[in-house]
Structure formats: C-alpha cells, structure tokens
Amino acid sequence: MSEVSLAAPLAGWLVSIREVPDPVFSEGMMGEGFAVDPVHGSVSAPCAGVVVQVASTSHSVTLRTDAGAELLIHVGLETVALGGEGFETHVQEGGHVRRGDLLITFDLDAVGLKAKSLVSPVVLTNTQEFRLTLHSVDRLVSAGDTIGVIESLGRRSAEAPSNGDATTLECLLGFEHGLHARPAARVADAAKRFSGEINIIADGKSASARSAVALMALDVRKGDRVSVTASGADRDAAARAVCAVLSTVEQEHSSFARVAPAAVLADNEMGGVCAVPGVVKGTAFRWRRKSAVVPEDGQGLEYERKALEGAIDQVSSELQAVRNAAPGAGGDIAQAHLGLLHDENLRAEAAVQIQAGRSAAYAWMAATSAAADALRKTGNPRMRERVADLEDISAQLVRKLTGTEDLAGDEFPDATVLLADDLLPSEILSLDRQKLKAIAVERSGPTSHMAIIAASIGVPTLVAVGPKLGDVAQGVSVLVDSTAGKLVIDPADDVVERALKRNSALNTPAGPCRTRDGTTVRLLANIGGAPEVDAALAAAAEGCGLLRTEFLFLDRPTAPSSNEQADVYQTIADAFGGLPLTIRTLDIGGDKPVPFITFEQEENPALGARGIRTNLIDPELIDTQLQAIARVRSDALKVMIPMVSSVEELRGVRARLVELGAPAALQVGAMVETPAAALLADTLAREADFLSIGTNDLAQYALAMDRTNPLLAGMIDALNPAVLRLIALTADAGAATGTPVSVCGNLASDPVGAVLLIGFGITELSGAPAALAMLRRAISQVTTEECRDLAQRALQLESAGQVRALASEMISAGEGA
C-alpha cells in the first residue's frame, strides 16, 4: 500500500472537514478531507502531482498524484460568485507541480469581505480508491507542515454495469455559476444512487456523472445545453434525476442571490435578484426622491460656513441616534456614515468651495462628487460600494441645507410594497416599518448597504429588477416573491397561495428538536469567532455551547488586551440576541501553542500545561481574559473552564470572577474531558453551575491514545464503551445533583452519538452548525425509551464499532417506521 505525505496548503487553523459550514463538504458529498481557516493569502501544493483542473474563476485547483489520488483545493466558500475577483492562479492545467509550489494567491481581506466564509476545504474526491489520514486537527499550521498521508487502497473503481441499452435526455444547465464544486457534488451525489453508468456530455466532452472533479473539468456554464446518457436497469429514472439536478436554479447562501429565469416568467411578472427572501402581497407605492434646489452661489463666507457646520451637527446627531438604536447592520452603516461626515478631506474641499463663493450645499455636493469620482476610477468593487455611502451622506446634508424632505412614512398605504429606482441606506432607515412590507428596486445589488439594512429589519427585498419596474402603476396589487426572484402584478389568488405555502415550507423555523415521543433536545453550536454566528443561527442553533476563544490569541506576537477581548465577546453575545453563549477560557498548549508563551520542553504536551493549567506558566493571561468576560453584558452568558481535574481549579476561577465584579447571572461550569473529572463528577457537580463533556479529549485520555498520533487516530473513538461509561457516570452525577450536563465534543455532532447521549439523560448538545440538520433528523426518528435501552446495551458491548452498528440500526429502523 503506497503512501503520499500531505502538507498543509495554507497557513491557518486546521479543522476537520465536518466543521466546514457547508453541507456539500461537511457531509462528505465531495469526499473526505480537511479545511484550513487561512491567515495568509497564498495556496501551495500539498503534494506533487499534475494539475487536472483550474477553475475559470481561479478559486480552486484540482491535483492528481502519480498514484491517481485527486485532491480538490477550494479557497473559501461560495467564492465562485466573486468571478475571479481577488484571485490569481499560478499554474495551468496539465502542468506538473512539486510539493510546496505556489498554486493560488488571493486578497485575504477582499475575499473575506464577500465570501460566505474563508474556511478552505481540501478534499480527496476518489475515496473509493484512496484513504486520507490526518495526524490531528484543531490546531494552527504553517503552509508546508506535514499534516497527514494519502494511502492507496489497492483497488480501482469498477464501471457500473450496463445492459447495453441507454436513455439520453437533454437539458439546460441552471446553476448560476456553472458546474463548480457545489453543483458538481450535488450531481455526483444524485448519480451515485443509481446502478448504471451515467455520463454528462457537453460541447463534445464527456464526464462520468459520479465524478465531481470530472464534471467541473467540463467547464459548463449557465444556460449551456448538456446531454445525460444513462444505462442499466434504472436508466430512465437515473437520466431524469440527473437532469433535474442539472436544471436546478442555484441558490447562493451568502447573498441570497436568486434570479427567476426569463423563460419561466409570465406576462405579468418581472424577474430580479433576491436580496432578502420572502413572499409578500401588498400595494405598490413608488418612492420618488424630491430633487433639492441647490443654489451655486453662497450668501457670504461666514453665513455658509455656519450653515454647513449646523447641518453637519444635525445629521451627526441623527446618525448617532440611529447607531445607538440599531446595534446591528443599521448601526454599523450609521457609524460608517459618521466617519464620512467628519472626513477631514471632504470638509477641507467643501471649505475651499465656500471660500470660492459657493453655497454650503453646492460646496458639499462638489466635495463628495469629486471623492466619488476618484473611487469609481479605482475600478475596485469595494471602493465602488463606498460611492453609494458618499452619495447618501451628501443627500442627507443637502436635504438639511435646502429644507428638502422626502415622502413621509405616514403617506404609505397599509402593506406597502415600496418601488424605487434605488434607495439610500438613510432612506430605508427612515421608513415606517409597520406599513413597509416589501421592497423592489430597479438597481442596487444583494450585498448593497440598502439590502443589508433591509435584511436586518426582515423586509423581503428584490433588487436589479430593471427599468420595467417603473411601468408598475401606483396602487396596483403586487406580489413580491423574492425567494423565487420575481414580482407579480395583479397576482391570481392561486399564485399567491402557492407562493405563500412554498415560502412557509422553506422558512418554517426548525423549532425545538424532539424525539419521536416528544422529548425536547436543545441543539447549540460550537463556533470559533464572530463570523460563524450567522452559520449557527441559520442552522437554527439555540445558542452557542462552545465559543473557542483561541482565535483571538493565535497568529499574533502579543496577547489581546482585556478591552479587545471584551469587545469581541460582547459583539458575539449581541449577535446571538439573548440566546445562551458559553465562553470557554483559553485552551492552548499541547498541539495549540502561541508565540507569546514560552512552554517548557514537555515529553508529552497533551499531559502538560494546557487549558486552565496555563495559569502555572502565565497566570496574567487567564486573568486578563476573565477581566474581559466579567465586562460582557448578557443574562445568558456562561463561562466554561477547560481541562479541569480538581474542584479547587473551578473555585479559583469563580472567586476571581466575583472579585472582578462579574454579573450575578454569570454561570461558571467545568469541562469534563479528563478521567479525573468524570470520576469526580459528583463533587464537581455540587460546585459547578453546569458540566460540559468534551468527548474528544475524554476519549484521548481514557484510552491513553494521543489523538495527534496518526497510527492511533482510527482507534480513538468516543463510542468506545470505556468512554461511554465515563459519560454515563458524569450524566448520573448531574442528574443526582440537579446540575445540567451537556456535550460539546465531536460526539455531539454525530447522529449516532446524539441518540446514545439522550439515552444517558443528556438533552443539550453543542455541535458543528453544519451537523445540526442531521442531528434533528436522527433524533426525530427515535424515542427516549429506545435511546435508554440503546445506552444500556452499549455499555455492555466490546468495541466502538459494535456500538456504532447497533445505534445506526436503531436510527434506520426509526426512519422506516
């Protein structure tokens, strides 16, 4: 069995593929692998091989090793939508590369602002022939660090059987950005459900529908005609199923950009781009911005200077009020506008114009117009977005100086569908939200500040409808179906009913997760920073059961200050909006070193000064973090101490938080991730406000197997009956003392693990956001009594494999019930 050593292609935080916030990757539809949350914008070859595919948008590269293993390296999530902006490839298809050769460079900031996530998956796509084994995950890596191996399994994929007959269907590709990774994976996943051979033919090239890499290499674009040829006994169903996927109109998660194809629009319908999904029937009302009459000549230097300063003060007060009242997107944009309002260059240019005899309004318009022109000339899309902000702040100030006001909100009819050529952020913030039910605009885009504010206040919004929107009569009944990307004039009742039903089905909140017999299981999310909150909330997480604070400490020469940490923690708490937030104190050491702490040489770092034991090396580090946590304002805040092995450690942290003036509602809990903590669970439970089981380390320490050792990685399984007995011991201790017990390790992201944990009486699980949907489905298939029976039987088994087989059988039986 041959092996290829694998290097990290990017520098950053290495995680399991299961942690990627996209089910195409996390659920293994593309294959097995890992991901890196990058800290630098360069991608190098993880091993030697030939370049078999370079995305036309430069966001991904696929390599094939000499042995035939295929590796897809995909920078960020949903980055195909950027159209290559911010990316540059340094290799060509067919070229050979050595380990460490540069493949892609990208603008980390620019891509990070527009992508769904910078987390970059690396996937072994032909897992039927090869196996990828990682040394360890959840650690900081440098590009070029050895992180695992790829092994040949010594077998080649057999072609699916064919009976000689074939079915061929044609369709048009519906995916907005062509057959990139996500749609290719969906096609391959659909094809694998059928027995016969299935091929996709486009522009004279053919690819197996079962190979996502081969499909991407076809370079098929939206609207291209493709043929699907299927053979075998189920050939008709296979061809129809694959065609159905190929024809899908892709839904982009990051910007909700969904466009209704022109071919399916009726005469009374207009297509657009969805900025905020939703379905609303209402009355069309056109927003017409009143033109301000701006005199060019001023009324004297002193008069115009005072007029400008007075207007700036008025607008500044209004923006500050918006910022304070709207802590979310609206507040952020108001803060940005405040910065422009007090920009020294703008005010200096306006002063020059006033000195030349211009009116204050004319002077301010001239200053902002010149700045906007300069930004347009850069050609940088990020700079072009700032043009809209300049136009907005200009309009706000000119309205004050000229006494011009827009239409008042009380002129709106009930259930207003506001139509406009475009809306300024300040205008949408001023609208009557009781009457405003939907927005449709001719211009703008799904990521504009206007769209961001509309999303923050939950108003369905359709953008880029085009000039035909101006033909819609005032007062006519309209249906905005932004989820489907269209506006319907005078919609029939059945059209409205279907749209509302479909939207309700798509957007019905997941609600409480329950077993088949009604036991509620609380599902929370594990996150590693503020950018991951959106993914957690989108997955219907009921809060955060584990905030890994290490992200604040890594890849920097000095530790973050108390102020910096407090600001970040407060931002995350605010983003969760009152839902529980559990902050785990710093867990470094072991396989997670930081440059500003000098760890003594340790023969076994996993047993060294990590977690709460960092106090032994740098007590100020943990104390600074506790100071920050004590300042966070949230009634739902909890703090969780890692690597606890004694009650004294927990008492020490609690006492220090009291000294620092932490809120009385702040709960302090202990992680159970050492055998000592599990064996002392009854004692810890009497001292702690809650216990949270970290199954990753608990398995490592219970089995005496280093989880960074590649030889042992396959044997470290939290489903091992020995580990399960420690979990049961902890759960029993919590039940006896009335102390809540949850699980935040990988076992909580595993449907098999979830049903077992419920059997032990644990009904709060915190897992990867991408895993929550699978957990809900698995939990809904079983009863509490079945889980209890499973848990007791599992404790008597001999191996993790036996436990997994028994639990999987129970879940499958529930699905068939």
Phi-psi domain of 555 (left: phi exceeds 0; alpha: psi -120 through 50; beta: other): left
Three-class SS state of 46: coil
CB 737 within 8 A of CB 792: no
C-alpha torsion 769→770→772→775, nearest 10: -140
8 Å CB contact between 507 and 280: no
Could you confirm whether 544 is annotated as catalytic? no
Residue 166 is given by DSSP the state E
State the Cα–Cα distance between residues 432 and 448, nearest whole angstrom. Answer: 20
Query: How far is Cα of residue 23 from the mean position of the Cα atoms in its chain?
Result: 11
Burial of 351 (0-12, 13-18, 19+ CB in 10 A): middle
- Tell me the helix, strand and coil percentages in the chain, rounded to 5: 40, 20, 40
Instruction: Record the tokens describing residue 547, joined without a space.
Output: 């905030």
Structure-block tokens of residue 771:
């895993």
Any catalytic annotation for residue 243?
no
Residue 309: CB atoms within 10 Å: 12
Question: Which amino acid type is present at position 161?
Answer: P
- With contact defined as beta carbons under 8 Å apart, do 179 and 220 qualify? yes
Q: Please tell me the distance from the alpha carbon of residue 301 to that of residue 542, in angstroms, as a whole number.
A: 59
| H-run or E-run covering 6 | strand 3-7
Q: For the beta carbon of residue 579, count every other beta carbon within 10 angstroms.
A: 18
Q: How many of the other CB atoms lie within 10 Å of CB of 504?
A: 10
Q: Which of 180, 449, 513, 787 is catalytic?
A: 449
Q: What angle do CA 352, 353, 357 make, to 5 degrees?
A: 115
Nearest to 179 by CA among 345, 5, 306, 57: 57
Instruction: Give the ranges where 153-202 is alpha helix by DSSP (H).
Output: 181-191
User: Looking at the DSSP assignment, which residues form a beta bridge with residue 229?
Assistant: 168, 199
393 vs 318, 372, 373, 546, 613, CA distance in Å? Answer: 12, 11, 15, 41, 52
Of 171, 513, 744, 787, which one is the catalytic site residue?
Answer: 744
What is the 3 state secondary structure string of 530-585? HHHHHHHHHCCCCCEEEEEHHHHCCCCCCCCCHHHHHHHHHHHHHHHCCCCEEEEC
Query: Known catalytic residues?
Result: 449, 744
